[in-house]
Structure 1
Amino acid sequence: MNLWPKRNNVGPNRNIYRFPLEALDAQDGPFIQSLFLTNVSIEPHLVICGFMRLKKLHLHRVHIIGDLPGLLLNCSSLEDLELIACSGVTDLNIPHQLDKLRHLLIRSNICVQMVEFRVPDLSHFEYQGDVIPIVLHGRSTLEEVTLKFHNALFDRDNNRALSHAITGIPSISTAKVLNVHTQMMEDRPVWSSQVHKLTRSACMFLNLRHLTCRITIFTRGSNNHARLLLAHYLDSAPRLETLQLHMSYVVAGGSHCWHGEQASFHMYRLDRLHEWVPFRGG
């Protein structure tokens, strides 16, 4: 279901249709298995009981007013949950277990300051947004995790995103595949403030087999700090088999480009190393 307004530039907080979730309450029992809502507002609450068979819930640009945890409490069969560019919720803290949830995607949600889910059988998790606390309670079932941090350039500590992805979310340490996308600004040697955080990591990625890092660095000169930092991290993933390192250096205030040096990491289980390092002037 897509209720996109005809006129352009309508955000999720104004001039949008309020979708009546209570209209889906069937008198003869729940029947909805998939629900896709786009560009509407909803007012979820605990007494809505028409979603006991719901397996897939996608909310894109939805303004949420009310009790989202209460709605999810009634989604006992939910396997796939996507929240993209939604507003109205500051803490995505779901206090009860979503026993059957396998896929969780949270992307570019407005004003969200915390994510906490109880998902014992989650296999795929993707988050895109600001650097915030993320906690996933559950057993060791994670197959793949993707983290895309933005707005890092405007933070006071604008180089903390990679460190947060690696050491700040212990609940993803059971993942077999980890993809990290981030940007950083180099007003000073970027990585000097980060190495100590990685060398004292509180968790080991014992199941990690494949790691992909895509990092864009806004800088004033060539350096290899990023590779040195990543080398410190690799000790936390003793079973890593494939590392893909994609690094883009953007020259601030200049028009010249340069080529970086190739890096190699020697680990017991590391079978393949792929590195792609483009450089471009700004």
Structure 2
Amino acid sequence: MGLLALNHLMSFQRRRRRRRRRGEIRPLNGLVSSLANGKRSNHKDDDSPQGGKIMRFSGPDLPEDIWGHIHSLMPLQDAARTASVSHAFLRSWRCRPNITFSSTTLGLNEDVHGENKIASDFNSRVDHILKKHSGFGLRSLKIEFCGYNSNTHCYLNSWLESAVTPELEELILLLPLKKAKYCFPSSLLSRGSGNSIRHLTLSWCAFRTTVGLDSLKNLTSVILHDVRITEEELGCLLSNSSALEQFNLVYCSKITCLKIPCLMKRLSCFSVLECDKLRVIESKAPNVSSFYIRGGQLEVSLAESLQVKDITLSMDCAISYAPVKLPSVVPNLEILSIISSREAVSTPLSPSKFLHLKVLGISLHGAAFSPAYDCFSVVYFLDAAPSLETFVLGVSQLRMQHDSIIGDPSPLRQISGRRHDHLKNVKITGFCSAKSLVELVCYVLENVTSLDCLTLDTTMGLPRCSANKLGKCLTMGKDMVRESQQALLAVEAFIEGKVPPAVKLIVLGPCSLCQDVEL
């Protein structure tokens, strides 16, 4: 709710009250406009957020807490302007519960001014606003820096000391990319100061402490993005966060082993992305239901795993790793997404089963995707999931480098697979004329008795070019169009005739604009 909603509320109240002795009440947006034009009353108050004078406003007689709530819903700049209208709004401004500082909320144009000027303006404006704020009632503070200079860390220490009170529930600190060498004062989270913090997000800074974090009993969400933190320091943070429900660790390059203690009984999901040196993840949290891991070679150990239902693995040789390691570790898994950039060998035949797996997604789009990988071997994965309902496979056409089925006189491979009576939807994006992909589709048509829909997308899932408002193709190059047309020939020659009447076949090819590309 901004100024417009506030004006509507005030108009409604006016119709129900008698007019004031001095005529009609002036609309609030008119008062704000007059402030912007330099027109002010004679009532002085140097404590206004604009550093000017307060205008008396005889608005509707509402309880002050309602005015305060309306004021808290306004954007920062509107709230600052309206604080100059009345003492009630000024008091509300000093106790504003949610404050976000960024180039947008402060009206800073990063394209016009230089970096040092932006940093200086950002620091001075934030410093002025927080000094006028009483600190009372502040629930959420987000600082998204648009500039950083040598004085910023001094300002930041002062801001955090005044903002981190026993009432603060959310703290988000986003520093500029790699320019900040700031060390977050972890002492603020001790001695009861951070006792009420529920959500903590830090980026591009250091976190240094192994003792003294005794006030994190209400912390439910932690996001650390490119934070310089060691295993011992992270262990200290986690061991003092028994109420944690969500944990995200991104680009934290000093961690080699992540250990999640068993005392984190409320932890339901965590993600670990692109931590270069990380090799081992050990979780003893008993109620984790989902996690997302993206990195290189990783070993995942889950002591308590019966609750795990949803996993995303984005790592080297993930397709080779998953069917061998996961069935015994996460026996109740229902959703599995695999993103693999390196697959030197085909999917292994494993005696273990994903008995409860319902949705399987496999993506092979990495630059290091080996042309030696046999896509047909994915059928072993399908056989290991007897309850599977949805299967999505994504490949990169231009990196397949597999023999095309067009002009290949050799017969299609066939294996004696199990009958699938739960699989209803199968989709392949990046479908091309590679013989291994055609063999995989034929296997599905011959062995999946419950199939409702088969989708073959020869455009790699790119937006339909014909819907482009510019009237020209911006997505498919000549090589991709050529391979897509080859894929359509393969569908017509080897697949269409095998589709049962009850199965809906959807084939997505190049749009009319793509087909006009000169080959």
Which TM bucket (shorter chain)? 0.7 to 0.9
Query: Which of these residues, 147, 165, 170, is aligned with residue 6 of structure 1?
Result: 147
Query: Which of these residues, 225, 239, 242, is aligned with residue 374 of structure 2?
Result: 225
Equivalences, count: 259
Aligned to 1:52: 217
Aligned to 2:182: 17
Between Structure 1 and Structure 2, which shows a larger proportion of strand residues? Answer: 1
Aligned to 1:127: 293
Aligned to 2:127: none
Taking the aligned partners of 2:205 and 2:271, their CA distance within structure 1 comes to 19
Aligned to 1:161: 318
Whether contact under 8 Å (2:270, 2:290) holds in the other structure is yes
Whether contact under 8 Å (1:244, 1:274) holds in the other structure is no
Whether contact under 8 Å (1:58, 1:83) holds in the other structure is yes
Aligned to 2:346: 194
Query: Which of these residues, 228, 233, 238, is aligned with residue 67 of structure 1?
Result: 233
1:180 aligns with 2:354: no
Taking the aligned partners of 2:263 and 2:398, their CA distance within structure 1 comes to 44
Taking the aligned partners of 1:119 and 1:4, their CA distance within structure 2 comes to 35
Superposed displacement of residue 47, structure 1: 3.1
Q: Sort the Cα spacing of 1:99 and 1:9 in 2 relative to 1 into closer, same or farther, 3 A.
A: closer
Superposed displacement of residue 77, structure 1: 0.5
Taking the aligned partners of 1:39 and 1:219, their CA distance within structure 2 comes to 29
Q: Sort the Cα spacing of 1:258 and 1:199 in 2 relative to 1 into closer, same or farther, 3 A.
A: closer
Taking the aligned partners of 1:273 and 1:131, their CA distance within structure 2 comes to 33
Q: CA RMSD in A?
A: 3.5
1:238 aligns with 2:395: no
> In structure 2, what residue type is equivalent to 1:177?
I
Q: Sort the Cα spacing of 1:29 and 1:114 in 2 relative to 1 into closer, same or farther, 3 A.
A: closer
Taking the aligned partners of 1:74 and 1:244, their CA distance within structure 2 comes to 41
Aligned to 2:202: 37
Superposed displacement of residue 3, structure 1: 6.2
> In structure 1, what residue type is equivalent to 2:322?
A
Query: Higher relative CO (CA 8 A, sep ≥ 6), structure 1 or 2?
Result: 1
> In structure 1, what residue type is equivalent to 2:241?
C
Taking the aligned partners of 1:220 and 1:26, their CA distance within structure 2 comes to 52
Taking the aligned partners of 1:56 and 1:44, their CA distance within structure 2 comes to 19
Taking the aligned partners of 2:265 and 2:370, their CA distance within structure 1 comes to 50
1:94 aligns with 2:260: yes
Write out aligned runs for 1:207-222 (5 A): 207-216=356-365
CA distances 1:72-117 after superposition (whole Å, capped 9, x unpaired): 1111100010111112211112343421001101111131111111
Aligned to 1:204: 353
Whether contact under 8 Å (1:117, 1:137) holds in the other structure is yes
Superposed displacement of residue 173, structure 1: 4.2
* Unaligned residue ranges in structure 1 (runs of 5+): 153-159
Taking the aligned partners of 1:75 and 1:38, their CA distance within structure 2 comes to 19
Q: Sort the Cα spacing of 1:221 and 1:91 in 2 relative to 1 into closer, same or farther, 3 A.
A: closer
For the residue of structure 1 that corresponds to 2:397, the secondary structure is strand
For the residue of structure 2 that corresponds to 1:168, the secondary structure is helix
Between Structure 1 and Structure 2, which shows a larger proportion of helix residues? Answer: 2
Taking the aligned partners of 1:132 and 1:219, their CA distance within structure 2 comes to 18
Q: Sort the Cα spacing of 1:91 and 1:2 in 2 relative to 1 into closer, same or farther, 3 A.
A: farther
Write out aligned runs for 1:238-257 (5 A): 238-251=386-399
Whether contact under 8 Å (1:38, 1:61) holds in the other structure is yes
> In structure 2, what residue type is equivalent to 1:98?
M
Taking the aligned partners of 2:209 and 2:369, their CA distance within structure 1 comes to 50
Superposed displacement of residue 37, structure 1: 0.8
For the residue of structure 2 that corresponds to 1:67, the secondary structure is helix
Which 10-residue stretch deviates more, 98-107 or 214-223?
214-223
Taking the aligned partners of 1:142 and 1:180, their CA distance within structure 2 comes to 16
Taking the aligned partners of 1:267 and 1:133, their CA distance within structure 2 comes to 34
Whether contact under 8 Å (1:2, 1:36) holds in the other structure is no
Structure 1 length normalisation: TM-score?
0.78
Aligned to 1:146: 312
Taking the aligned partners of 1:60 and 1:130, their CA distance within structure 2 comes to 18
Taking the aligned partners of 1:36 and 1:9, their CA distance within structure 2 comes to 14
Superposed displacement of residue 241, structure 1: 0.9
Aligned to 2:275: 109
Whether contact under 8 Å (2:239, 2:261) holds in the other structure is no
* Unaligned residue ranges in structure 2 (runs of 5+): 1-141, 149-174, 405-430, 461-476, 481-519
